[in-house]
Amino acid sequence: MRRRRGFTLVELLAVIAITAIIAAMTVPAMSELRTRSGLRSARALVLASFSAARASAIQKGKTATVTVNNNVLSVTAMSGLTPVAVQIHGPVNVNRTTGAVVAPLDGAPTSVVYDARGLITPNTTSIARYELRLGSRRDTVCITGAGTIMPKGCVL
């Protein structure tokens, strides 16, 4: 008798079938994981922009502005003895970076100005809400009239 080496066609097809079944079960889970991760990254970018503007306004004692325009976030602050606007953060295209879309909700301003004390100008008691969307998932970032960022869920 001659000894054969290798695998038969039936054994190879069985391994391929098992691999295909496992891949079919993991692809939806990986897609959901990617969506959640992108939304979390978008939220971090928006929070970083508002935090940088507020911190800069307080540190320099001059106004700082966050601009949300067509998914692009940018932060500028006034600097020097003669007021000159300096780019502090961005411009960052949130959609290109994370895949998410940023949109102001309920008449939230596309440009938020912090005064030298870190408060939003003009003073307002309303809450500015910005929606983040990625696929079917949504999240909201809320900024109080005092200029602070509200915890997740926009509830104090």
Class of domain 9-143: alpha beta
Per-domain residue ranges for the chain? 9-143
pLDDT at 112 over 70: yes
Please say whether the beta carbons of 63 and 77 come within 8 A. Answer: yes
pLDDT class of 19 with cuts at 50, 70, 90: very high
What is the per-residue pLDDT across 92-111, written as a single tens digit (0 to 9) for each? 888 888 888 888 888 888 88
Query: Of 25, 28, 46, nearest to 36 (Cα)?
Result: 28
pTM of the model: 0.74
Please say whether the beta carbons of 128 and 35 come within 8 A. Answer: no
